[in-house]
Amino acid sequence: MFKGFRDFIMRGNVIDLAVAVVMGAAFGAVVASFVSNILTPLITAIVHKPDFSALTWNLNGAVISYGTFLNALISFVLVAAAVYFFIVSPMNAWKARSAREGIPADPTTKKCPECLSDIPIEAKRCAHCAQPLVGRAA
């Protein structure tokens, strides 16, 4: 029973998942700090109100705290914007740049100068029209 558990724990994908969870938690702390210490004060400077949780609406004696919802919504939008503009967008640009710089593979075929069909690079005669290819630039 313990051997099966040990084999399960030692699988590569379980270890990778554990590392991803730990890195995700650490990254979440960095993003939360960025939002709460940099982006939220910038919004406070613009709208002159640091917290919307005091905003409520009374409806037949029921108190609807829409300010708390606004705080959560603003926090979500700020976190999503921070992740997109500082992580996703630069990574996409980096991947696109490295894809452009990739070396194309060597060609494996060439065109027959007579019938324009694709033939292997090493061919000495076209399989389609039987023209000899020795000494010709294809």
Tell me how many domains the chain contains. Answer: 2
Do residues 24 and 38 share a domain?
A: yes
Residues 42 and 78 reside in one and the same domain: yes
Does this model's pTM top 0.75? no
All residue ranges of the chain with pLDDT < 70 are 12, 134-138
128 in the same domain as 84: no
pLDDT per residue as tens digits for the range 93-120: 988 888 777 777 778 888 888 888 888 8
Can you count the helices (H) and strands (E) in the chain? 5, 4
The SS3 assignment for 97 reads: helix
Measure CA 28 to chain center.
16
**pLDDT in the model for residue 138:** 42
Tell me what pLDDT residue 135 has. Answer: 60
Note whether 68 and 114 are same-domain residues.
no
**Which residues span the domain enclosing 16?**
2-100
d(Cα 130, Cα 114) in Å, to the nearest integer? 10
* Phi-psi sector, 116: left (phi>0), alpha (psi -120 to 50), beta: left
What per-residue string of b and e applies to 99-113 under the rule 16 or more CB within 10 Å gives b?
eeeeeeeeeeeeebe
